[in-house]
Each structure stands twice: as C-alpha cells, then as structure tokens.
C-alpha cells in the first residue's frame, strides 16, 4: 500500500480576478519508508498539495489517500497517520513549549506522553526552553516547536514543508540527523525545501512541480545521472559572448556552464579567450541537483510556451 497517494489532484482557487488553477492533475504515489522530496519554485503548488493532504484544503477534483484512508471521507483516520510541519509559523501565544506539546498530544488522544516530549525537546535543542512562553521564542526556535508538535503522536508519515527556512546551520544538521533516524526506523518522510543540497543528500526520490504540474518524477540518482556530467565554473567581470550567455547560469560575478566532456570545456575556454573575456578562479565540478532543477524548469517553460503557440 502506498503511504500517500495523490490521484489526478487539481485545485482551483477563486480569486477577485477570477479562477486560479494552482494544481493541475497531480498524480504520484509515495511508498512506505521512502524519503521523498517535493521540489518546485515559489508558487508551484507544493504547500497547496500538502494542505490537501493534511485536510486543510479540499481538492477541486481528484483524490488523496493516506495509508489507504481517503483524506476527505476518512479524515480522522488519515490525519492521525500524519505529522505535518507547516510552512507558516502558527501557534498559540498563551502556552509555553511543554504545554503546547501536551495539548497537541491530547488532540491526538495520546496520554502520559512526557517521556517522548522530553526526547523531542532534547533532540531539537529545546530542553532549556520547555517552560518558555511561545511568544518569547526566536523564529528558528518556534520552527523547532512546530517540528516537535508534528511528531508528538509518533506519526508513521512525516510531512515537512520547508522545515529549515530560517533555521541555523547547527539545528539544520541536528534536525536532519533526527529525521533521518526516524526514516531509518520506518517512518515515511515527505519534504519540501528550496535547499537543493539538502534534498540531494536526503531524498531517495523526487518530484518537481511547476505551475501545478509534475514536470519530473524519478529517483534522485536517475535525475543526477541524466544531467550533464560536468560544470565549468569561473568568475568574470566581462560580458559573456551570446552563445555562452544562452546556456550559462550567472550569479553575480560567477558564471557556470554545463559541459558533457573535456572537449566541450576546451571549446568554452577557447570561445571565452576569443571573445577577450578575462576569467578567474576557474574550476570544474560535477553537476548537482541545482543544475538538474534549473534544467527541468527551463524545459518545462519551453514545453509550456510550445503548447501555448499550438
Ligand atoms: N487561498 C488561496 N487563494 C488564492 N490563491 C492561492 C491560495 N493559496 C495559494 N494560492 C496560489 O496558488 C499557487 C501555489 O501556492 P503554494 O503556496 O502552493 O506554492 P508553493 O509551491 O508552496 O510555493 P513556496 O515555495 O513559495 O512556498 C500560488 O500562485 C498562490 O498564490
Ligand atoms: Mg509553500
């Protein structure tokens, strides 16, 4: 049985400017025990999909089930299987950290949960904040409490919507160690993140969304394998010749060019020399998930434009 199954899920919001389709026929299954990544640019529909999964929004059409329970007709059974860390920081300012976690336990009917709550507080570096009021916590600490809150009933499926946004490096590492441990113990993980190196390191399979559609769905290793093997990276203050500018990824002074082999790298360097472009700090690296992501998104853009013209 799939841990999570999305079947032709579409969602149209009504807005003052007319209907807006945020999801367009999303179908994908996440198997039990998977560490699954859902990637996509801002506004792609990731949070909308998670909201439908968590029963916070209704699909306009299609269906979603969690371990066989339909999220609409069997809401309580489906919801109990999920621990959701929402993207938005929402909490009740009147409670302290421990009270917040006890309340959440009560919501799921879990009694005498203090041993597990202590373990969560410890693992998330919140032990010394247990009696601090939610209002007194920094943004990153509030996010940690949200993570603890999602895990309080030991759900088999953990859904993390950008859990590391605004979180410092140290906690990110602790958080990933903790989540990886839960995954090893058999928990299924669904993660969205804009930190692609995190997704590359953690997720065994990935879906990429763009404008509400799945534009890639494969094992992480396959996606990386299909990418151009190498990237030529250098710094320059000069403008690139047009042929190179078209394929380059430029961030400030840093330009990166995808290359299949050594010959292509030589051609790039020759073209740069011929155009009189001065380069510094030249290096060749292996293509990573960010390269794959940008490729997939660019291709999806071209497909959409072709569709529009047809
Ligand atoms: N309640 C709503 N009413 C109208 N439009 C909405 C609503 N919620 C989301 N949208 C729109 O749906 C689209 C998808 O939003 P969503 O929050 O799912 O994106 P996302 O992939 O999570 O993006 P991000 O990476 O920024 O979190 C966006 O264009 C957004 O403006
Ligand atoms: Mg989102």
pLDDT of residue 227 exceeding 80, the answer is no
Under 8 Å between Cβ of 52 and 11: yes
Assign 173 to helix, strand or coil.
helix
| Amino acid 155: pLDDT | 96
Under 8 Å between Cβ of 130 and 55: no
Most informative mutation of 9, 13, 192, 213 for ligand 1 (most atoms within 8 A of CB)? 13
- CA–centroid distance, residue 221 to ligand 2 (Å): 25
| Amino acid 121: pLDDT | 95
| Amino acid 97: pLDDT | 96
| Residue ID of nearest Cα to ligand 1 atom 4 | 13
Pick one of 3.30.70, 1.10.3470, 2.60.40, 3.40.1350 as the CATH number of 228-286.
Answer: 3.30.70
- Tell me phi and psi for residue 255, to 5 degrees: -115, 140
Q: Which residues lie closer than 8 Å to 265 by C-beta, 6 or more apart?
A: 230, 232, 259, 284
Under 8 Å between Cβ of 130 and 97: yes
Once rounded to an integer, what is the mean pLDDT over residues 134-150? 90
Most informative mutation of 16, 26, 48 for ligand 1 (most atoms within 8 A of CB)? 48
- CA–centroid distance, residue 128 to ligand 2 (Å): 30
**270-294 residue pLDDT tens:** 999 999 999 999 999 888 898 889 8
- CA–centroid distance, residue 43 to ligand 1 (Å): 5
Q: Which residues lie closer than 8 Å to 59 by C-beta, 6 or more apart?
A: 9, 10, 11, 23, 52
pLDDT of residue 75 exceeding 90, the answer is yes
**79-115 residue pLDDT tens:** 999 999 988 888 888 899 999 999 999 999 999 999 9
| Amino acid 58: pLDDT | 95
pLDDT of residue 226 exceeding 80, the answer is no
Q: How confident is the model at residue 2 (pLDDT cuts 50, 70, 90)?
A: very high
| Amino acid 302: pLDDT | 84
Q: How many residues does the chain have?
A: 310
Q: What gap in Å lies between CA 185 and CA 202, rounded to an integer?
A: 15
Q: How confident is the model at residue 170 (pLDDT cuts 50, 70, 90)?
A: confident
Scanning 203-249, the segments in alpha helix (DSSP H) are 220-226, 242-247
CA 49 to ligand 1: nearest atom? 18
Most informative mutation of 24, 44, 195 for ligand 1 (most atoms within 8 A of CB)? 44
CA 41 to ligand 1: nearest atom? 25
pLDDT of residue 198 exceeding 80, the answer is yes
**4-28 residue pLDDT tens:** 999 999 999 999 999 999 999 999 9
pLDDT of residue 309 exceeding 90, the answer is no
DSSP notation for 21-50: EEEEEEEEEEETT-EEEEE-STTSSHHHHH
Q: Which CATH architecture does the domain made up of 2-224 adopt? A: 3-Layer(aba) Sandwich (3.40)
| Residue ID of nearest Cα to ligand 1 atom 7 | 13
Where exactly does CATH 3.40.50.300 map onto the chain? 2-224
> In the chain, what percentage of residues exceed pLDDT 70?
99
Number of H helices, E strands in the chain: 11, 14
Q: How confident is the model at residue 131 (pLDDT cuts 50, 70, 90)?
A: very high
**DSSP classification of residue 244:** H
Ligand closest to the CA atom of residue 9: 1
| Amino acid 295: pLDDT | 82
**DSSP classification of residue 256:** E
Weakest-pLDDT range from 45-54, 91-100, 120-129, 165-174: 165-174
Under 8 Å between Cβ of 39 and 208: yes
Q: What gap in Å lies between CA 261 and CA 168, rounded to an integer?
A: 37
Under 8 Å between Cβ of 65 and 78: yes
Tell me what the pLDDT averaged over the chain comes to: 92
- CA–centroid distance, residue 40 to ligand 2 (Å): 9
Under 8 Å between Cβ of 159 and 187: no
More confident residue, 43 or 296: 43
| Amino acid 139: pLDDT | 86
Strand boundaries in 32-135, DSSP class E: 35-39, 61-66, 69-70, 82-85
The model's pTM: 0.88
- CA–centroid distance, residue 12 to ligand 1 (Å): 11
Where exactly does CATH 3.30.70 map onto the chain? 228-286
What end-to-end distance do the CA atoms of the chain give, in Å? 40
- CA–centroid distance, residue 294 to ligand 1 (Å): 20
| Residue ID of nearest Cα to ligand 1 atom 24 | 42
> In the chain, what percentage of residues exceed pLDDT 90?
72
């Amino acid at each position: 049985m799939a841990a999570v199954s999305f079947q032709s899920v579409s969602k149209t919001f009504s807005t003052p400017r007319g209907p807006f389709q945020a999801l367009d026929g999303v179908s994908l299954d996440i198997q039990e025990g998977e560490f699954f990544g859902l990637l996509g640019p801002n506004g792609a529909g990731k949070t909308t999909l998670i909201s439908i999964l968590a029963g916070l929004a209704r699909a306009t059409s299609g269906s979603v089930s969690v371990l066989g329970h339909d999220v609409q007709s069997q809401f309580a059974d489906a919801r109990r299987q999920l621990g959701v860390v929402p993207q938005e920081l929402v909490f009740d300012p009147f409670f302290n950290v421990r009270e917040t976690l006890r309340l959440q336990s009560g919501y799921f009917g879990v009694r005498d949960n203090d041993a597990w709550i202590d373990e969560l507080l410890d693992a998330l570096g919140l032990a010394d904040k247990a009696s601090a009021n939610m209002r007194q916590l920094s943004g990153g600490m509030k996010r940690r409490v949200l993570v603890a809150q999602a895990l309080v009933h030991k759900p088999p499926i953990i859904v993390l919507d950008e859990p590391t946004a605004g979180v410092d490096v140290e906690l990110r590492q602790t958080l990933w160690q903790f989540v990886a441990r839960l995954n090893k113990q058999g928990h299924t993980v669904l993660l969205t993140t804009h930190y692609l190196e995190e997704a590359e390191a953690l997720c065994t399979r990935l879906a990429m969304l763009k404008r509400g559609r799945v534009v890639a769905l494969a094992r992480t290793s396959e996606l990386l394998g299909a990418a151009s093997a190498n990237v030529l990276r250098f710094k320059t203050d000069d403008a690139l010749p047009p042929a190179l500018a078209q394929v380059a990824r430029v961030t400030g002074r840093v330009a990166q060019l995808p290359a299949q082999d050594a010959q292509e790298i030589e051609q790039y360097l020759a073209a740069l020399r011929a155009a009189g472009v001065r380069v510094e700090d030249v290096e060749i690296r292996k293509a990573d998930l960010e390269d794959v992501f940008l490729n997939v998104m660019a291709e999806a853009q071209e497909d959409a434009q072709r569709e529009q013209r047809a």
